């Protein structure tokens, strides 16, 4: 059996990052920059007003006070979006709105609150320094300044900055597109009528949602029956629109019923291994198709499938954007109840973590088909390979679930 670390390291070593593409900003959220982005223009690109008020020469209002205001003629107004040249005649003011270009000759803005708001003549009750309420050209960034370094995963603010800096597109590695294929003769569409012996499909539904929760576009492929031909056709078909494939089921030790193992084993690129963990011991990984698309063959039990997704598929999604980083070490908490674990396997028990109290309680129902129990948990309790039982009060590592 391989350790969790060995298996993950082999997966990461086999993944080639997706090539960068020129992405529209609407598609850029979550993409990872492959190049530094520098400012091409000053930001802002022209001197403009930070407030609604009056563009002035500071010298003209230098004596203004509450008791002894200065009264000046108002020579029209300039609003955000106005582009025509405006000159301030000394001894007058121009009404100005936030974001409007500063008239030539004006060196400050008196905010409207310091005035009577006049339109023909304005009474100004205070002085301002030169530069007051003026946003200077390049005050946020100068041409050539580094705005976003290569490797940045684009968040909303980053996308906003790209737009503000005049970029309509950006070169980045997009979020990988995920397709999840469930196999099994027993599977029925969620919500459809069920007869005894069948179950509602839940893994592909869950794992596609988990991929979306991780920020990736994801879809669930229609249920595939347990035949080699059906599976190979599905994989072939799914390759077209996916950067990563996940299958569920068909990888246990049950011989001819384990169609994923039988079918993909013949491709020569997917290897099936036992990983020293519980749940999720039978694992398969490889690459398929012309783009060497990674494919994970996860075990069919829903808890095994989900835990495997968290431990292996999630890091692979990051690696496809060349942005895999070992996640922060697991947290620690005190066990509120006893826990058992098989020898020689690392257990990922389902638990309810009370972060502020530093306590974690194993949920009842730790079998790998018990999705209801998993749904009650918010954390995985990690029990190392050499430990088979733990008592309440012992400190354990915990991984918080998304
Ligand atoms: P398998 O790995 O195909 O042997 O399946 C192991 C267990 O997981 C069996 O009880 C299956 O019925 C169940 N199972 C497999 N695929 C799914 C699925 N997509 N949704 C829910 N349960 C599944
Ligand atoms: Mg099956």
**Residue-wise pLDDT tens digits, 297-342:** 999 999 999 999 999 999 999 999 999 987 667 999 999 999 999 9
pLDDT of residue 262: 84
**What's the mean pLDDT in 139-163?**
98
**What's the mean pLDDT in 247-267?**
82
pLDDT category, 268, cuts 50, 70, 90?
low
Ligand 1 atom showing the smallest separation from residue 226 Cα: 3
- 94-108 burial string, b = 16+ CB within 10 Å, else e? bbbbbbbbbbeebbb
Distance 231 CA to ligand 2 centre (A): 12
**Angstrom distance (rounded) from CA 107 to CA 75:** 16
Q: pLDDT over 70 for what percent of the chain?
A: 98
Residue 210 has pLDDT above 70, yes or no: yes
pLDDT in tens, 44-80: 999 999 999 999 999 999 999 999 999 999 999 999 9
**Angstrom distance (rounded) from CA 317 to CA 292:** 14
Which residue's CA lies nearest to atom 11 of ligand 1?
300
Query: Which residue stretches of 75-116 are H helix?
Result: none
pLDDT of residue 142: 98
β-pair type (379-383, 359-362): unpaired
Output 258 or 118, whichever has higher pLDDT.
118
Ligand 1 atom showing the smallest separation from residue 223 Cα: 19
Please say whether the beta carbons of 45 and 140 come within 8 A. Answer: no
Distance 65 CA to ligand 1 centre (A): 80
Mutate to test the pocket of ligand 1, among 188, 194, 225, 249 (most ligand atoms within 8 A of CB): 249
**What's the mean pLDDT in 147-161?**
98
Which residues, in sequence order, are CB contacts of 341 under 8 Å at separation 6+?
278, 347, 349, 383, 387, 388, 389, 390
For residue 23, the surrounding DSSP H or E stretch is strand 21-24
Which residues, in sequence order, are CB contacts of 23 under 8 Å at separation 6+?
31, 169, 170, 171, 172, 174
List, chain by chain if needed, residues with CB within 6 Å of any ligand 1 atom. Answer: 182, 184, 186-187, 199, 201-204, 248-252, 299-302, 369
SS (H, E, C) 198-249: CEECCHHHHHHHHHHHCCCCEEECCCECCCHHHHHHHHHHHHCCCCEEEEEC
Residue 253 has pLDDT above 90, yes or no: no
pLDDT of residue 259: 87
Which residue's CA lies nearest to atom 6 of ligand 1?
300
Tokens of 87: 């000159």
Number of Cβ atoms within 10 Å of the Cβ of 143:
12
Residue 123 has pLDDT above 80, yes or no: yes
Mean of per-residue pLDDT scores for the chain: 96
Residue 360 has pLDDT above 80, yes or no: yes
Q: pLDDT over 90 for what percent of the chain?
A: 94
Prior bond of 276 cis (ω within 30°): no
């Amino acid at each position: 059996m391989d350790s969790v670390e060995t298996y993950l390291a082999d997966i990461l070593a086999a993944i080639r990052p997706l090539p960068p593409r020129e992405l529209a900003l609407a598609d850029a959220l979550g993409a990872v920059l492959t190049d530094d982005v520098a400012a091409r223009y000053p930001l802002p690109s022209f001197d403009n007003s930070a407030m609604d008020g009056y563009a002035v020469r500071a010298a003209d209002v230098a004596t203004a006070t509450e008791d002894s205001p200065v009264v000046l003629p108002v020579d029209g107004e300039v609003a955000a979006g106005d582009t025509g040249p405006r000159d301030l005649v000394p001894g007058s003011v121009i009404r100005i709105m936030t974001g409007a270009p500063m008239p030539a000759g004006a060196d400050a803005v008196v905010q409207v609150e310091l005035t009577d708001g006049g339109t023909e003549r304005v009474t100004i009750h205070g002085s301002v320094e030169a530069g007051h309420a003026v946003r200077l050209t390049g005050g946020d960034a100068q041409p050539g300044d580094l705005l976003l370094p290569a490797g940045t995963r684009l968040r909303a603010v980053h996308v906003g900055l790209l737009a503000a800096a005049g970029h309509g597109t950006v070169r980045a590695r997009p979020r990988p597109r995920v397709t999840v294929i469930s196999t099994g003769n027993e599977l029925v569409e969620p919500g459809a009528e069920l007869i005894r012996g069948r179950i509602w499909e839940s893994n592909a539904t869950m794992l596609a949602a988990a991929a979306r929760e991780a920020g990736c576009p994801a879809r669930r492929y229609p249920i595939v029956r347990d035949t080699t031909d059906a599976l190979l056709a599905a994989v072939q078909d799914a390759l077209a629109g996916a950067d990563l494939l996940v299958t569920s089921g068909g990888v246990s030790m049950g011989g001819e019923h384990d169609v994923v193992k039988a079918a993909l084993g013949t491709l020569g690129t997917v290897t099936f291994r036992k990983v020293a963990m519980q749940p999720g011991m039978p694992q398969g990984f490889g690459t398929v198709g012309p783009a060497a698309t990674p494919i994970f063959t996860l075990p069919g039990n829903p808890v095994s499938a989900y835990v495997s997704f968290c431990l292996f598929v999630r890091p692979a999604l990051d690696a496809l954007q060349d942005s895999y980083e070992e996640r922060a070490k697991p947290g620690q908490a005190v066990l509120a109840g006893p826990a058992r674990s098989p020898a020689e396997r690392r257990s990922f028990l389902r638990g309810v973590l009370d972060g502020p109290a530093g306590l974690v309680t194993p949920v009842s129902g730790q079998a790998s088909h018990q999705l209801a129990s998993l749904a009650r948990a918010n954390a995985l309790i990690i029990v190392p390979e050499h430990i088979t039982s733990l008592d309440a009060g012992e400190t354990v590592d915990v991984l918080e679930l998304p």
